[in-house]
Structure 1
Amino acid sequence: MALKTAMALAAGLTLLAGCASRYTPTPLAANFPTTKQAKLQAAYHWGVVTDSIEKRVVMELRKSPPRPVFINEPKDPSAFQRALATQLTTSLVNDGYVVSRTPAGSLKIDLDVQAVTFSANRPQYRYHGERAVLGSGVWLLSEIEAPVVANVAVAVGALDAHDWFNAQFAPGDTPKTEIIVTVSVSDQYRYLARNTSAYYVADSDRILYGIVDPKPEEPKLTRTFQVRGDI
């Protein structure tokens, strides 16, 4: 009887341990569903971003009577902001829009770029494993980080399965640097369109996005001692 009581008590405690409290002083931290965010690593990628922005701007401009547009560049643009404004001007002109050199009588396009820095060593989630050739057209993918090593042999012809799985991911750790790009189309009274998107950027390219890291302090070569008492 005592054994059955102990087993029932243990089962009850296990059940309680697996349940979250119904009441907490703060919301429980939870992960978002898995998503992907592009990492900018070349000037060509800046052009891809600009093309995406231009398509969204044109879509909104078509909803109103045709008017010239003026791209409002910041006074001290970063390399990325300058390229963004230049490439957007080119795309709009090539699509037949009048891009004015002065704001008078034009719709204004503002390009706001906010660079943010998160903590270093952020986690990187991707496929894991090492590759090995078993034979012609047969690869072995070995999961080496799991507690139990799982090996899967895949017949893929001439396709490199390991590269196929991992090519979609940017190399290296998750960057600590991200940029938030907001595009606004407005006149003097209202916003006609507004869109925001976010991208990773390589930490080594931070200066291209207007982030200037402080120089490390140089070590002091002298030290002052205070002497007390008679000499």
Structure 2
Amino acid sequence: MALKTAMALAAGILLAGCAARYTPTPLAANFPTTKQAKLQAAYHWGVISDNIEKGVAAELKKSPPRPVFINEPKDPTPFQRALATQLTTSLVNDGYVVSRSPAGSLKVDMDVQAVSFSANRPQYRYHGERAILGAGVWLLSEIEAPALLNIAAGAGAWDAYDWFNAQFAPGATPKTEIIVTVSVSDQYRYLARSTSAYYVADTDRVLYGIVDPKPEEPKLTRTFQVRGDM
């Protein structure tokens, strides 16, 4: 026991000695693991619209009831148009008066900021993979310190593996994300505000207002400089 304690103490001193005490900039560190939904269908747009409406409605109940007006952008993207339509439906179904005119109404503004990060960002999932142990028997290993979880029950192991991984969107981490902000205000103040972020499929960027520039066409002519007498 004393030997193990001495070894642990020595290892701690060694690691502490290797750490830099002073650096010119903060060290880059990862955030704790979180999950962010990936929008892949119009149904998902309705889900987030309902979620936004519930948050906004909870704040509106704190003030005297007034009609609301959905201030849709002049040239909405397909996503913004769907969001305005579905938000209107959710508010009406929740008992709110949605006005067709801004006069005398609270204004609901929707801001969608689409951002592009670098491609090929890493996608970390659960540790462990399935492996065959014998005819009709599979092993699913998932390491969750300090425990090791083993599931080996024929088809049940396969189902457990799929259950573990079904929550993750397939493919690499998308480079495209959107930040959706919905605000309810009058001419003097904000009464409710909701901001959330989502991944979107890189192949659907145009639905969120991102138009990638066309690649430059190769030049078919070349210019030569002639020197000397003709």
**Given the two structures, how large is their TM-score scaled by the length of structure 1?**
0.84
Matched AA of 2:204: D
> Counterparts of 1:1-231 in structure 2 under 5 Å?
14-15=14-15, 17-21=17-21, 23-127=22-126, 129-132=129-132, 134-136=134-136, 138-141=137-140, 154-155=152-153, 158=156, 160-231=159-230
CA distance in 2, matches of 1:122, 1:70: 40
Matched AA of 1:224: T
Conserved in 2, the CA contact under 8 Å of 1:139 and 1:154? yes
CA distance in 2, matches of 1:16, 1:36: 32
Q: Structure 2 regions of 5+ residues with no counterpart? A: 1-10, 143-147
CA distance in 1, matches of 2:228, 2:33: 68
Matched AA of 2:18: G
Alignment partner of 1:162: what SS? helix
Deviates more, 1:126-135 or 1:112-121: 126-135
CA distance in 2, matches of 1:31, 1:201: 22
Deviation at 1:151, TM superposition (A): 11
Q: Which string of whole-angstrom CA distances, capped at 9 and with x for unpartnered residues, describes residues 131-162 of structure 1?
A: 437344x313479xxxxxx9955226535232
- Once superposed, which parts of structure 1, at least 4 consecutive aligned residues long, lie more than 4 Å away? 11-17, 150-153
Deviation at 1:172, TM superposition (A): 0.5
Q: Percent identity?
A: 79
Conserved in 1, the CA contact under 8 Å of 2:130 and 2:138? no
Q: Which string of whole-angstrom CA distances, capped at 9 and with x for unpartnered residues, describes residues 30-56 of structure 1?
A: 110000000000000000010101111
**Length, aligned pairs only:** 214
Q: Structure 1 regions of 5+ residues with no counterpart? A: 1-10, 144-149
Q: Which string of whole-angstrom CA distances, capped at 9 and with x for unpartnered residues, describes residues 103-148 of structure 1?
A: 1111111111000000111111013535437344x313479xxxxx
Conserved in 1, the CA contact under 8 Å of 2:69 and 2:102? yes
CA distance in 1, matches of 2:119, 2:78: 24
Deviation at 1:224, TM superposition (A): 1.4
Conserved in 2, the CA contact under 8 Å of 1:134 and 1:140? no
Q: CA RMSD in A?
A: 2.6
Q: Which string of whole-angstrom CA distances, capped at 9 and with x for unpartnered residues, describes residues 155-184 of structure 1?
A: 265352321221110000000000000111
Alignment partner of 1:184: what SS? strand
Matched AA of 2:33: T
